Amino acid sequence: MDVPDIEELLTATPVAAYGDDADPATRGGALHLSSLLPAASAAIGHPVPTAVHQDPAALQRALGLPDARSAVVVLVDGLGYWNLAMRLGHAPYLRSLMNDAANQRPIATCAPSTTVSAMATFGTGTCPGLTGMTGYTQLNPATGTICQLIQFTDAPDPADLQRQPTVFEALAGREVRVTSCGLMKFRDSPLTRAALRGGDYRGGVTPLDRVSDAARSAREPGLTYLYIRDADKTGHAHGWDSDKWIGVFERIDAHLALLRRSVPKGTLIVVTADHGMVTADPAQRIDVAADPTLSAGVRLVGGEPRCVSLYADDGEDPSAIAERWRDRLGERAIVWTRDEAVAHGLFGPVDARVLPMIGDVVVSALGAMTIVDSRTQSAQAMSLPSVHGSRTMLESDIPCLIDLA
């Protein structure tokens, strides 16, 4: 298949639209991470509408999901569409799926393209502007400090922050079987309680245990969710283009092939991701703490190295901060005030209670640049070899690979 060159893959994609009535010619709409669980619910005969998607059957048709008594939706953390496409030679099962023309098109993840925002978007079928999960770190309006949303450090209670019902909750409320298969330590984690609550959770010790759990679950009608984290974990530690990542990718492909062989005939399998990954260039790293032009008027820095949220000092004009950042970074980033980001639909529809959580200025890095703050971040966190969060093709295009056993 045709893969664009790296310069094109590191350029910005258009903002993805949300909702069933999005123009089919635009990015997103039905072809979006938020559509997958509502579409899967329709495929198993129990359509669940959400605040963003009112017609799950239309999503099912647009994505091309066949009807099935049982469906397994697999989310491979960090396995972007183009990361996958560039390493297909190492993945015979996924390559077989990509040979199908219907699977040769990416869908869009949310902005920012990061795990906490994407998991909530996926689990609720909505968007960060409604879930209140707008970045890896963000302002906690109750305390006026930055909170972190993987472990929910200094954060609101998960159920209070993320108030949208999940698709799992809706299905379980109708007595439809819902099974989540993941690491045991994630069973009652704050992120699970916020984004993926509902149904039965099975915590397998090893990746093969989790695949086996998913295959056994699929014997009964309903929905199974399987989470695979190793591509993201290895990408952050060693780089998504490293030999270690390729080894992990090969094992993931083998596990997915085993899942395919193990589920009952007629089971629908959908393989997707929350985001892709880019290789960071240390020479392009920007440290806000070391640049008076960038730190001027900025009280707090949230987000992640590829999409930072800047919270202004009291009395400071966000437009002035944005102008300074545009002058400093030029074409290496897209710099929007909060009002501009909301007007462009970057976070989807935005609830009034969520507005203060979003930065007064939102900066999306392009190319291989990262933006860090040495006042609050460790040396390790600032020097991750592969990162994500921005709007480039590599980060924001994700797979939606469909298989029917």
Q: State residue 24's pLDDT score.
A: 80
Q: Is the pLDDT of residue 134 over 80?
A: yes
Both tokens assigned to 212: 């086996």
Distance from C-alpha of 336 to C-alpha of 15, rounded to nearest angstrom = 13
Q: What is the pLDDT of residues 166-176, one digit of tens each?
A: 999 999 999 99
Q: State residue 1's pLDDT score.
A: 77
- Reported confidence tier of residue 25, pLDDT bands at 50, 70, 90: confident
User: In 10 A of CB 323, how many CB atoms?
Assistant: 14
Instruction: For the chain, give the mean pLDDT.
Output: 97
Chain region(s) in the chain for CATH 3.30.1360.180: 282-386
For the full predicted model, state whether its pTM sits above 0.95: yes
Chain region(s) in the chain for CATH 3.40.720.10: 6-278+392-404
Q: Is the pLDDT of residue 214 over 90?
A: yes
- Residue 361 neighbours by CB under 8 Å, 6+ apart: 309, 310, 312, 318, 321, 322, 325, 335, 336, 337, 338
**Class of the CATH-defined domain 282-386:** alpha beta
Distance from C-alpha of 331 to C-alpha of 22, rounded to nearest angstrom = 28
Q: What is the pLDDT of residues 95-119, one digit of tens each?
A: 999 999 999 999 999 999 999 999 9
CATH 3.40.720.10 fits 6-278+392-404, yes or no: yes
